Homo-oligomer: A and B are copies of this chain.
Amino acid sequence: MDHGRAQREGWIMIAVSSLKVIANRGGSAIANCGVAIRPLPAVLAHGLTPQDMRSVMAARPSSRTLEAGQSLYFQGDDCEKVYLMLDGWAFRYQTLEDGRRQILDFALPGSAFGLPGTGVMTHSLETLTACTFTVFTRTGLCELLQRVPVLALRLVELLAGAEARAFEHLTNVGRRTARERVANLLVELLVRSRQMVRAARRSHMTLPLMQPHIADALGLASETVCRSLSALRKEGIVTLRAHRLDVLDIVRLARQAGVELDTTLPVEFQVKSDRAA
C-alpha cells in the first residue's frame, strides 16, 4: 500500500476503525481507507477547470461513508439525493414481494445513483466493502449541471455507459446458459476492475462477492453458480475461492462468455493468455 502516492493524489489517510472489516471482506481495501478530498470521481472530474471545481464545491456536496454490508438507500425511498460513488464495491438490486432478488449492477467508483427524475427509488443499494459517496441534493446538482455544462456532458456519458452495461446483463440473463453467464460476469468484473486500478497485468483480482451475489446477478440459484464454477475450475479456466479470482486461461474464459476479446479486453490480457495456452 502506497501512502505517499495516495497523499500526492489528494487523499487523506486516516486510521480507520473498520480495517478489520476490510481485511475480512478482502475488498478493494487499498482504495477504501481514506476520505476523499475531491468530491468527484475521476471519470467526472476529468477535464474540469479550477473554476468548475469551485462551482462543484459551491453546490455543497457532502460525503457519506458506509461499512461493508450496509445500505445507502432502499427501494421505495423517495429520492431527493443524488449519489456519486468514490470508493469501494457495492451492488444495486431489486426484490420481489416473495423475496426473490435480482442484482442489477455492481457499483464501482464512478457510478451515479438517485437520478431517476421525480419519484421513488426503484432499487436498493448495499455495500460489499467499505464505501464512500458524494451526496448532492437534487436541486443542488441541477443547478451545478446548469452552471458547469461539461459536467452534465460527463454525466450523460456515464449514464449511457450504465445503460450499455445493463443491456449486456440483460442479454446475459435472457439468452445465455448458466456457464456462459458466470463466465461473462467474471470477464466483465475483470475488465471493469482493470479499467479503474492501473494494476499490473496480473490475471487475478479480489472479488468481494459471495456466490449468492453472483447467483442473484445472473438469475440463477447459488447451487448452479457453484456447479458452473466447479466446472470452470476442473477445466483449468478459473479458480474462485475466498474472494480471490484467478484467471488461468482468459482465452477460453472469454470464449465461454461469448465475448470478443479484442474489443473488450486490453491487449496485455491476451498476451498473458498466450502463455497459458
Partner-B contacts on A (CB < 8 A): 92, 94, 96-97, 100-102, 104-105, 115-117, 120, 122-123, 142, 145-147, 149-150, 152-153, 155-157, 159-164, 166-171, 173-176, 218-219, 258, 263
Contacts and interface: CB of A to CB of B under 8 A. Distances in A.
A96 B174 CA distance: 11
Nearest to A76: B263
A162 B163 contact: yes
Contact of A120 (B105, B142, B169, B263): B263
Nearest to A122: B164
B157 A115 contact: yes
B160 A152 contact: no
Contacts of A146: 149-150, 153
A175 B96 contact: yes
A100 B150 CA distance: 39
A76 B218 CA distance: 25
- The prevalent SS among residues of A at the interface is helix
Contacts of A162: 163
A57 B168 CA distance: 34
Contacts of A161: 116-117
Contacts of A96: 171, 175-176, 258
A174 to B, nearest CB: 3
Nearest to A115: B160
Contact of A175 (B152, B153, B170, B219): B219
Nearest to A160: B115
A254 to B, nearest CB: 13
B101 A175 contact: yes
A104 B157 contact: no
24 contacts: A94-B168, A96-B171, A96-B175, A96-B176, A101-B175, A104-B171, A105-B167, A115-B156, A115-B157, A116-B161, A117-B157, A117-B161, A122-B164, A146-B149, A146-B150, A146-B153, A149-B149, A149-B152, A159-B160, A162-B163, A163-B166, A166-B170, A173-B219, A174-B219
Contacts of A166: 163, 166-167, 170
Contact of A153 (B116, B142, B159): B142
A145 B149 contact: yes
A213 B155 CA distance: 32
A150 B152 CA distance: 10
Given A116-B161, A164-B116, A175-B219, A102 B170 contact: yes
Contact of A152 (B116, B120, B153, B219): B153
A159 B170 contact: no
Nearest to A166: B166
